Amino acid sequence: MKNIIIVGQNGNLANALANQFPSAIKVGREQYLSWLINPTGLQNFFKNRNISGSESFVFNCAGVINPNTALNEINLLNFDLPVFLSEESTHLNFRLFTFGTVMETLPKYASTNSYLDSKLRFYNKFIGTESWVKSNTHIQMHTLYGGINCHPHMFLGQMQQAISRREIFKMTGGEQIREYHHVDDDARAIKLISTIKTSGVMAISHGKPEKLKDIANAIFSHFDLLQFLKLSENQTDTNDNLGVIFKRSEAISSIAFRDPVDNIIKWLEEQKGDNE
């Protein structure tokens, strides 16, 4: 049995992975940031727990997803930290799992905000470093829902706020397509991927995207607030994903992904209850 180390504690993905690996060692912000300034910090982390790198899997769940966060914070957590862990993985011989986004395959769109750009920069460094590609796994993910955090800067979070406040929600025409994945489904997929010896870049895709306008219509209709949804009020970024459908990942073909629209609504119902 491998030693499981989850870097990051408070995010939805970290919590979902912790449920998949109940005996995992969870590393908080203060500790993982200390590794960046102490050259022997991570080595001492393994030594003090009497565990070896060769018997360990490290899942880097730390990161910033809000593009409005200060740029130095985004770069620190989304680029500097995974680069550091990748470099250390070659010295300490642990298998590292980093998490990116399928938007890394759409570089024109990925360069449109600081969050996506930071992910793209790490992805480019990863695929350009042979030793990392041979020993580690970079997992490209789609948009997550579920968990305890409904982020207000994201599409679902913005709709949730508009619904709870009975406010007008303005959006584009909604022709952009997205795969929505429940975080618990992806956590199960990640656990399965960790049992596979294949390294390099791997995407978690179920191959059934939805148009944003269809998701929005379903949500506002469910809450009987369709009059608050205003489509085509904002301009669509032509570099966004308007037609790329990702093929279902064969390596995780045994994972059953739940229907996104129905379960997004169920999750938002739960969020609504928490806020009352």
Burial tier of 51 (Cβ tally within 10 Å: 0-12, 13-18, 19+): middle
Q: In the prediction, which pLDDT does 39 show?
A: 84
Domain range summary for the chain, segments of one domain joined by +: 1-141
DSSP string, 186-230: HHHHHHHHHTS---EEEE---S--EEHHHHHHHHHHHTT-GGGEE
Measure the CA–CA gap between 214 and 229, rounded to whole angstroms: 12
CATH superfamily, domain 1-141, is NAD(P)-binding Rossmann-like Domain (3.40.50.720)
Measure the CA–CA gap between 31 and 37, rounded to whole angstroms: 11
Residue of 54, 73, 55, 57 whose CA lies nearest to 65: 73
Measure the CA–CA gap between 161 and 108, rounded to whole angstroms: 30
Q: In the prediction, which pLDDT does 272 show?
A: 65
Cα atoms found within 13 Å of the Cα of residue 65, Cβ hemisphere only: 21
Q: Where are the alpha helices (DSSP H) in the chain?
A: 12-20, 29-37, 41-48, 71-75, 81-92, 107-110, 114-127, 130-135, 155-165, 183-194, 212-222, 260-274
Cα atoms found within 13 Å of the Cα of residue 61, Cβ hemisphere only: 26
Residues with Cβ < 8 Å from 249, sequence gap 6 or more?
189, 202, 203, 204, 205
Positive or negative CA dihedral for 233, 238, 243, 249?
negative
- Beta carbons of 137 and 190 less than 8 angstroms apart: no
Cα distances (angstroms) measured from residue 187 to each of 10, 57, 141, 205: 15, 15, 11, 13
Burial tier of 274 (Cβ tally within 10 Å: 0-12, 13-18, 19+): exposed
pTM confidence score: 0.95
Q: In the prediction, which pLDDT does 276 show?
A: 45
Query: Each residue's pLDDT tens digit in the chain (276 positions)?
Result: 799 999 998 899 999 999 999 999 999 999 999 999 998 999 999 999 999 999 999 999 999 999 999 999 999 999 999 999 999 999 999 999 999 999 999 999 998 899 999 999 999 999 999 999 999 999 999 999 999 989 999 999 999 999 999 999 999 999 999 999 999 999 999 999 999 988 999 999 999 999 999 999 999 999 999 999 999 999 999 999 999 999 998 999 999 999 999 999 999 998 865 544
